[in-house]
Amino acid sequence: MPFEQITVSTTELKRDTANMLLGNSFVGLLMTVFSFSGLVFFFDNASEKVTQLQHQIWIFMMLVSVCRLADALYWKFKLSKLPFEPTAVINRFSIGLYITGAIWGFYSVLFYSTMDTIELAATMIILSAMSGGAGTVLSPSRALVAFYCTALLVPMSICALTDSNGEFFILGILGLVFWIGIFLSALRYNRFFVSTLHLKAKNNKLIEQMRIERSETEKVNQLLLTTNGKLDAANANLEAEVERRTEDLFRLSNRDPLTNLLNRNGFLKHLNQLLDTTKVLHNSLALLFIDLDGFKQVNDSLGHKVGDIVLTEIASRLRNYSEKNQLARWGGDEFVAIIPYATVDTAKAVAHAMRSGVTIPIMANDNQITLDATIGIAMYPEHGESAVDLIQQADLTMYDQKRKQRGSVGVFNETLHEEIKRDQRLCERLRCAIKNGELTVFYQPIIDVKTRSVSSVEALLRWNCDGEMIPPDIFIPLAERSGLMPEIGAWVLNRAIIDLSHWQFADSLCLSVNVSITQLLDDSFVKILDNALSSTPVAPERIYLEVTESVFANNAELVTLRLSELVQRRVKISIDDFGTGYSSLHRLQSMPFDFIKIDRSFVQNSSEESDTIIRATLLMAREFSCKTVAEGIETNEQLEHLAALGADYLQGYYFAKPMSASDFISWYNDNY
């Protein structure tokens, strides 16, 4: 940096000013206390009133001096040792000085007329001496030195000049001349002070620049020496360097960079080698496939940085339960582990221990995170003889366990294998079920308790696959998992509304259709319903859409919006399986439901506890102006019991099982 470009900053100037003012204030305060005390107590005054007033002013001066002294001590023992903010320090000092100067000036004017010649001369001498000292001590601040010297000399000098006796006129002239001289000297001291600060800043900057340049030169020299040393070492050991780099590349290609565990490629190589050895020795081993439960929510809500911390900690914990190179990160939040020489019981014990280690809370960036793990186990040679087969079987087992119960351990078996193959086959067939005409809508009547007549029918989907009737509790979850439910649900809705429009029954007969969460969240669902209604003469009021309480566990805001759109179309809404789902009371408060279906589990359980739940449900329904439908009526006793409790509608095998459209027409004509 060029010399002439180096300047002192405003903050540095203020800080040096504060240090100068506060550092020299102790002597000035001492002189002020002694001088003011001498003037007040050394000279006698004939008037007791004047003396009393002098004492009061002296007390005020002492209080101000004590405050200034406390502030100076605070600066000396605390602020001066730190890079303090100078503005506040200067402001406090200035206020104290202004008050002190004002007291001096006020004192000299107020008591001028009461002073004799000696006291007047002594006062002028003291004020002149104080002004002279202030001209030097206060020179860092022009404003302070100007005010202080003026307050001390000018008021009393003016009093002497304007004295009617004229005997102190020359004293007043001398006071003003002395004031001008002090003021001019203070200005020179101020310029000298500022120039000194600039020189100090320039010197400091130059010294710092020299230090930096010297440090940079040393770094460059050291870098040159190091580079030369590396070049010499590389030239002398080129073959060893190439070998080392090859090993590093191998490590990078076989290790997960986040956890330093084996990656997928490295694990497969290691597992194949271990299987070859195990096969020769006729030993066994277990392969564990570990999937973290709840990790996706951590990544989505807290971010990938926290997720990486969690994965690193989980990897560290899992290492405690496996030997070196027997654990790998398979991908994402999935890990695989090898347990050599293991039996099924040994593998399950290790898996449970691993799961216990995973469930211990983790602190990541001030977030406490608790996860669980679902683990699938495959045994060699019982469940597979190749690395790919073992990993696949353990993976399938893990997913099956996750579907049944998260946070559990399962061992592969042939039954599971057959179930998985059957699910895959059914899933493929289900994709073509509509096209192949394998789906049929059955209907089960819902009876009005008062009239004992058919009030509505519930549409129930049935699937005939190669002559085998696949139960809904099997193919509906398959449709949900494979993403086919919106398409199948739309077909059921259209088919049922068309059948209803063809029946030659009373126009009061209504249709109840189940709607899944995936259908409800699908953007095209409302449009599909509008098209189905517009293509038939069926009134919207005759359509009841059944939803389970569990829909509110998934995007409750969108579900609420979608149900509101349906209500606007005058379609009725029914809560299915009430009391077994999610947030019943809360949702009843906020949504305009028309029907509540009491789950069959409460109807068929004849205990007092079930009756209590049913009565509570009926009471809530009446409070919310809803009708109730009791499912699972199979006996006359159940019919009479639910009717006596106050149910509005009944449904169950006692009246009729689900029937095809043609069978329902025949049943209806035979009974009504």
Cα separation values, 116 from 99, 111, 120, Å: 26, 10, 6
pLDDT at site 420: 76
> What's the whole-number mean pLDDT along residues 190-215?
76
pLDDT score, position 222:
85
Which helix or strand (DSSP H or E) is residue 105 part of?
Answer: helix 86-110
Whole-number pLDDT of residue 446: 96
Q: Which of 570, 572, 430, 577 is nearest to 491 (CA)?
A: 430
Amino acid at 343: T
The set of residues, in sequence order, having a beta carbon less than 8 Å from that of 25 and lying 6+ positions away, is 68, 72, 93, 137
Q: Which pLDDT does position 439 carry in this prediction?
A: 95
- For the cut 50, the answer to whether the pLDDT of residue 5 exceeds it is no
Determine which of 66-75, 102-111, 129-138, 600-609 has the lowest per-residue pLDDT on average.
Answer: 129-138
How far is the C-alpha of 420 from the C-alpha of 92, rounded, in Å?
83
Q: How far apart are CA 338 and CA 101, in angstroms?
A: 88
pLDDT score, position 362: 93
- pLDDT (0 to 100) of residue 52: 85
pLDDT digits (tens, 9 = 90+) for 569-586: 999 999 887 766 544 566
Q: What is the 3-state secondary structure (H, E, C) of 513-542?
A: EECCHHHHHCCCHHHHHHHHHHCCCCCHHH
Amino acid making up residue 356 = S
Q: Rounded distance, CA 387 to CA 381, Å?
A: 11
* pLDDT at position 69 over 60: yes
Q: Range with the lowest mean pLDDT among 158-167, 587-596, 604-613, 650-659?
A: 587-596
Please tell me the distance from the alpha carbon of residue 671 to that of residue 666, in angstroms, as a whole number: 9
Q: So what's the pLDDT on residue 2? A: 40
Q: What is the pLDDT of residues 271-330, one digit of tens each?
A: 999 999 999 999 999 999 999 999 988 887 888 899 999 999 999 999 999 998 899 999
Beginning with the edge strand found earlier in the chain, give each strand of the sheet holding 285-293 in spatial order.
327-331, 334-340, 285-293, 372-380, 409-411
Of the two residues 231 and 259, the one the predictor is more confident about is 259
- Reply yes or no on whether the pLDDT at 443 is more than 90: yes
pLDDT at 236 over 50: yes
Mean pLDDT score of the chain: 85
Rounded distance, CA 437 to CA 465, Å? Answer: 10
Give the pLDDT confidence score for residue 378 in this predicted structure: 95
Percent of the chain with pLDDT over 90: 41
Q: Whole-model pTM? A: 0.52
The beta-strand segments (E) located in 437-477 are: 439-448, 454-465, 468-470
Average pLDDT for 384-404: 90
* Domains present along the chain, CATH in parentheses: 3-206 (no CATH), 255-412 (3.30.70.270), 437-671 (3.20.20.450)
123-158 b/e (C-beta count within 10 Å ≥ 16 → b): bbebbbebbbbbbebbbbbeebbbbbbbbbbbbbbb
Q: Average pLDDT of 514-532?
A: 90
pLDDT in tens, 475-503: 988 888 888 999 999 999 999 999 999 99
Write the CA distances from 466 to 430, 440, 648, integer angstroms: 12, 14, 40
Residue 81 · residue 10 · CB < 8 Å: no
Q: What is the pLDDT of residues 337-370, one digit of tens each?
A: 999 999 999 999 999 999 999 999 999 988 899 9
651: its two tokens:
């449904």
What 3-state DSSP class applies to 457?
strand
Cis peptide before 381 (omega within 30 of 0): yes
Backbone dihedral region for residue 166 (phi beyond 0: left; psi -120 to 50: alpha; all else: beta): left
Helix segments in 458-508, DSSP class H: 472-482, 485-502
